[in-house]
Amino acid sequence: MDTIHIRGGRRLKGRIPVSGAKNAALPLMTASLLTDEPLTLTNMPRLADVRTLGRLLDVLGADMSLDEGADADVMTLHAKDIRSTTAPYEIVSKIRASFWVLGPLLARCHEAKVSLPGGCAIGARPVDLYIKGLQKMGAGIDLVDGYVHASAPGGLKGAVIRSPIVSVGATHTLMMAATLADGLTVLENAAREPEIVDVANCLVAMGAKIEGIGTSTLRIEGVERLHGATHRVISDRIEAGTYAIAAAMTGGEIVLEGAIGETFEAALSVLRAAGAEVESEQGAVRVARNGARLQATDVVTQVFPGFPTDLQAQFMALMTVAEGESEITETIFENRFMHVQELARFGADISLHGDKALVRGVEKLKGAPVMASDLRASAALIIAGLAAEGETIVNRVYHLDRGFERIEAKLSACGAEIWREKATQ
């Protein structure tokens, strides 16, 4: 397996182009199943998860063409005929978003058989909200041998669905299902993450009728059919936030090209509170830190517009060298602290108390061999390695390749000493 090596201690300085958001690109790809016309997605990130989902869509009947650009790809998906309504375990167990084909398949074909999902091991991650929502829309659902069998022979019916908790995936799934249902669907307590907004905007471009986009109540009036469209994937707020934290960590200065400040304002304001300089401007965000040490700052992860759980690990890495004690509370996933023991290898002082991590800042981290446990945790280890004295080796980097495009190239261009060693077979 490949490893990433970092010789820490360099200040990052330069410009980083932010890629299209993984967590928008994946559900956007599944939206292609809703129409027999082509859906073209521009600003597509080049990621392992995109390729994995592409394989699943191919099995289901979407023909894909990819136009590789220097900075981003253009992908066209054309599901003229659905060849299969079965999403197999071999693929769905790899990435959670592939489970989300359930909504579009059921809406268009009135049946679907989808393996229970996999994805990062950060908690139990059940799918009860998806199932209850689709049942309310008239679907019959059985769980057999690890597969969700869903059917709605006469088509889905509009319904009022109030979710007890905010779920990104359930919102994507139910919103897509509702676009072709008979009548009005109201999703109450819906997620309003920027990626949901992006997908909703694409669905509208495809002919869907959706009101309340960006709020926690979505009103979707089903239509007979959707048509093709061209849509630009929103820029990745988690990638941007990760590099913003890296700039603060190394006492450098990075301009994040294409970043949309409002989509990760909660993270930017915490960085400001910790002592970083942040300027949001049209089409870019600049993050810098002068020589002064960062101050410990508390964080509680929340659904949007709160501090995102997908930046919790990276922020914890930053707090390991801040002055004072910071309390980091994870409210979204119950098992998203696996990076704690790896950060300890750098000499970080962190103790866990249920859903809270108490981080006592140390003067310096020391490079170490470490193991990535999940996607965002891998980014936290890279951030720690960038500031640590000596060499860090990050193992299991396939996690990183799932969600960060060309991370070594982007960081090297800003002066980091980081390289990948290919596995010898």
Nearer to ligand EPZ, 25 or 321 (CB): 25
Q: How far is the CB of 412 from ligand EPZ (least distance, A)?
A: 23
Examine residue 129 and tell whether it contacts ligand EPZ (CB under 6 A): yes
Give the shortest CB-89-to-ligand EPZ separation in angstroms. Answer: 18
Q: Is 309 in the site for ligand EPZ (CB under 6 A)?
A: yes
* CB closer to ligand EPZ out of 94 and 289: 94
CA 292 → CA 190, 251, 272, 359, distances in Å?
Answer: 41, 8, 13, 19
If you write DSSP's letter for every residue of 207-257 in order, what string do you get? T-EEE-TTSSEEEEE--S----EEEEPPB-HHHHHHHHHHHHHHT-EEEEE
Among 160, 165, 352, 409, binds ligand EPZ (CB under 6 A): 165
Q: Which amino acid is at 34?
A: L
| Site membership for ligand EPZ, residue 98 (CB under 6 A) | no
Q: Which of 286, 376, 396, 399 binds ligand EPZ (CB under 6 A)?
A: 376
Determine which one of 109, 120, 202, 414 is catalytic.
120
- What is the b/e burial string over 161-171, where b = at least 16 CB atoms within 10 angstroms of the residue's CB? bebeebbbbbb
**Is 120 designated active site?**
yes
The helix/strand/coil state of 295 is strand
Q: Does 315 bind ligand EPZ (CB under 6 A)?
A: no
Q: d(Cα 251, Cα 293) in Å, to the nearest integer?
A: 9
Do residues 418 and 408 touch, judged by C-beta distance below 8 A? yes
Residue 363's identity, in one-letter code, is: E
Q: Which of 383, 26, 31, 419 is nearest to 229 (CA)?
A: 31
Q: Which of 375, 382, 387, 418 binds ligand EPZ (CB under 6 A)?
A: 375
Closest-CA residue to 329 (of 360, 362, 353, 347): 353
Decide: helix, strand or coil at residue 166.
Answer: coil
CA distances from 110 to 157, 185, 303 (A): 11, 17, 32
DSSP lists the bridge partners of residue 76 as: 40, 65
Give the shortest CB-215-to-ligand EPZ separation in angstroms. 17
Please report whether residue 160 would count as binding ligand EPZ according to CB under 6 A: no
- Interaction between residue 125 and ligand EPZ (CB under 6 A): yes
Task: Confirm or reject binding of residue 332 to ligand EPZ (CB under 6 A).
Answer: yes
User: C-alpha distances in angstroms, 139 versus 91, 166, 195, 221, 292?
Assistant: 24, 21, 26, 18, 58
**Is residue 120 involved in binding ligand EPZ (CB under 6 A)?**
yes
Q: Quickly list H helices, 252-388.
A: 265-274, 312-319, 339-344, 375-387
Q: Is 168 in the site for ligand EPZ (CB under 6 A)?
A: yes
Residue 328 near ligand EPZ by CB under 6 A = no
187 binds ligand EPZ (CB under 6 A): no
CB of 23 to ligand EPZ, least distance (A): 3
Q: Which residues in 384-423 contact ligand EPZ (CB under 6 A)?
A: 403
Grouping H, G, I as helix, E, B as strand and the rest as coil, residue 272 is: helix
Say if CB 406 and CB 47 are below 8 A apart.
no
Stretch that binds ligand EPZ, among 38-46, 145-153, 160-168, 239-247 (CB under 6 A): 160-168
d(CA 367, CA 28): 39
User: Which span sits near ligand EPZ by CB under 6 A: 35-43, 102-110, 128-136, 253-261?
Assistant: 128-136
Measured in whole angstroms, the distance separating CA 139 from the mean position of its chain's CA atoms is 28
| 130 forms part of the interface with ligand EPZ (CB under 6 A) | yes
Instruction: Write the secondary structure of 204-215 as one string of H (helix), E (strand) and C (coil).
Output: HHCCCEEECCCC
Choices 31-39, 117-125, 242-250, 280-288; region in contact with ligand EPZ by CB under 6 A: 117-125
Q: Which stretch binds ligand EPZ (CB under 6 A): 104-112, 163-171, 352-360, 406-414?
A: 163-171
* Residue 23 or 32 with smaller CB distance to ligand EPZ: 23
Binding mask 8-47 for ligand EPZ (x = CB under 6 A): ---------------x--x---------------------
Q: Under the criterion CB under 6 A, does residue 333 sit at the interface with ligand EPZ?
A: yes
User: Binding pattern to ligand EPZ, positions 250-289, x when CB under 6 A?
Assistant: ----------------------------------------
- Compare residues 6 and 332 and give the one whose CB is closer to ligand EPZ: 332
Residues in contact with ligand EPZ by CB under 6 A are 23, 26, 96-97, 120, 123-130, 165, 167-170, 309-310, 332-333, 375-376, 403
